[in-house]
Amino acid sequence: MKTLFMPLSHDAGIGAATERDGDDWFRGGPLSGRFSKPGIKTRSVRYAMLTALLGWFPLAILTALQSLVVKDGSFASFITDYGVLARSLISAPLLVLGEDITARHLSILARYFRDAGPVREKDQPRFREIVQSTRRLRDSRVTELAMVAIALGIAVGESDMPLNLMPAWHHLRGGGSSTAGLWHQFVSLPILLFLLLGWFWRLILWARFLFKVSRLDLRLIPSHPDGAAGLKFVGLSLESLSMGPAAMATILAGTIANRVLHMGEGILSFRHPVIEFIVAMLVLVAGPVLFFTPKLMDAMHHGTLKYGAIARAVGQQWEQRWLDDEAASHALHTADFISTNSLYTLVGRVYTMRIVPMEIRNLAVVVLASVVPFIPAALTKISPMTLVRTVSGFFL
């Protein structure tokens, strides 16, 4: 799990500079972001545990008491509700931990634009303005209050749902919401919704940051060994943001598990919604990276012409000098051959340059984070011997 959700190597220079200068540009803002501070890694863990306790433990106590007093089987209904277990014990803590990991890694990537040279000196003032506006939006109290209002609004709207569509522990035998149901509606659910909104807000801030930076006159190098003119590091943001898809997949997987185990629905009947969810996560997380595609296309076209002209001129000189019968036997041992070959290697990089600064590996991490939570639900109805056949049929 560490390699999946902590993909960035903690480069001594970049990481140390981030902590030393306090340039955590994406740390802060909505509630879970305020929990974490540089150098205090255990704080996010404590708040993740507190989130799980607030969201799930009171429900267990209340349903147990209701079962003892009313004897309506509320606790049995609650303890087998895989949806609430997935939401409160797994998804909410993941989102708290993900805020800390995401904010720290996105800050490192954002600093790289300034420290590694893609932003030219003349654009440094504009870059600082982008950073400052990002910080202002990140710490906006209005946005935070709006998130609280949205979360509570959705929670209140849940009261309009028919009781027969809710798990048995949500309501009393004679009608009306149970105490556990009210706690879930006005405490557990708002906490989860607020954390989800916080993740989406940080994604919006990152997308806005990339969009504005992509409008600068970036210093791109078509022959850069990363194959993306020096912007390949941007693709690491997909891995940094993968906690969000994992948390949302966990919520969806819990709902599917309830319908499979309690309502007898077939697991394969959910293959299309799951595929659509994975595609949506890829679009959300990878979409902002495409802001650099126009700049990369321009760099590739310009590089193809410039490097191609140089390669042609050098190649003509080399042919004129060495492509005769007497000189050919010595050509492979000359400095001219070595330097020409090195030049052609650089030119080859330009011709194969990517116009999207990410790799299949970056996308694979998001897909894996979106798929893994569904595996336990699938295993409840599928024997290990038929798992491979089922997985192949799941995507066909």
pLDDT tens, the chain, 396 aa long: 333 333 343 343 434 434 444 567 887 766 544 555 554 456 778 888 999 999 999 999 999 999 898 888 889 989 999 999 999 999 999 999 888 888 889 999 999 998 887 999 999 999 999 999 999 998 888 988 999 999 999 888 876 666 566 788 887 876 778 899 899 999 999 999 999 999 999 999 999 999 999 999 999 988 888 889 999 999 999 999 999 999 999 999 999 998 888 888 888 888 899 999 999 999 999 999 999 999 999 998 988 888 888 877 777 776 676 665 555 555 445 555 667 767 777 787 888 888 999 999 999 999 999 999 998 877 776 655 555 565 555 555
Cβ atoms of 37 and 43 closer than 8 Å: yes
145: Cβ–Cβ under 8 A, 6 or more apart, which residues? Answer: none
Structure-block tokens of residue 160:
């309009």
- Distant-in-sequence, close-in-space partners of 378: CB < 8 Å, separation ≥ 6: 267, 387, 390, 391, 394
What does the alpha-carbon distance between residue 288 and residue 30 come to, in Å, rounded to a whole number? 21
Residue ranges of the domains in the chain? 1-219, 220-396
CA distance 339 to 317: 12
Using CB atoms within 10 Å of the CB of residue 376, give its burial: 0 to 12 exposed, 13 to 18 middle, 19+ buried: middle
Q: Determine the pLDDT at residue 199.
A: 92
Spatial separation of the C-alpha atoms in residues 35 and 163, rounded to whole Å: 36
DSSP-derived 3-state class of residue 40: strand
Q: How high is the pLDDT of residue 261? A: 86
Give the model's pLDDT for residue 10: 39
Quote the CA–CA distance of 319 and 337 in Å, as a whole number. Answer: 10
Residue length of the chain: 396
**pLDDT, position 6:** 37
What pLDDT is stored for residue 15 in this prediction? 41
pLDDT of residue 206: 96
Give the per-residue pLDDT at 386. 55
Identify the pLDDT of residue 273.
93
Nearest to 374 by CA among 240, 203, 259, 241: 259
Question: What is the Cα–Cα distance from 121 to 127, expressed in whole angstroms?
Answer: 10
Tokens of 46: 């404590």
Q: How far apart are CA 224 and CA 263, in angstroms?
A: 56
For residue 45, what pLDDT is reported?
84
pLDDT at 323: 64
CB atoms within 10 A of CB 76: 13
Backbone angles phi, psi at 24, to 5 degrees: -90, 80
DSSP state of 171: B
- What b-and-e string marks burial along 339-371, b requiring 16 or more CB atoms within 10 Å of the CB? ebeebeebbebbeebbbbbbbeebbebbbebbb
Query: What's the whole-model pTM score?
Result: 0.83
User: Which residues touch 256 (CB under 8 Å, ≥6 apart)?
Assistant: 267, 270, 274, 374, 377
Residue 218 contacts residue 119 (beta carbons within 8 Å): yes
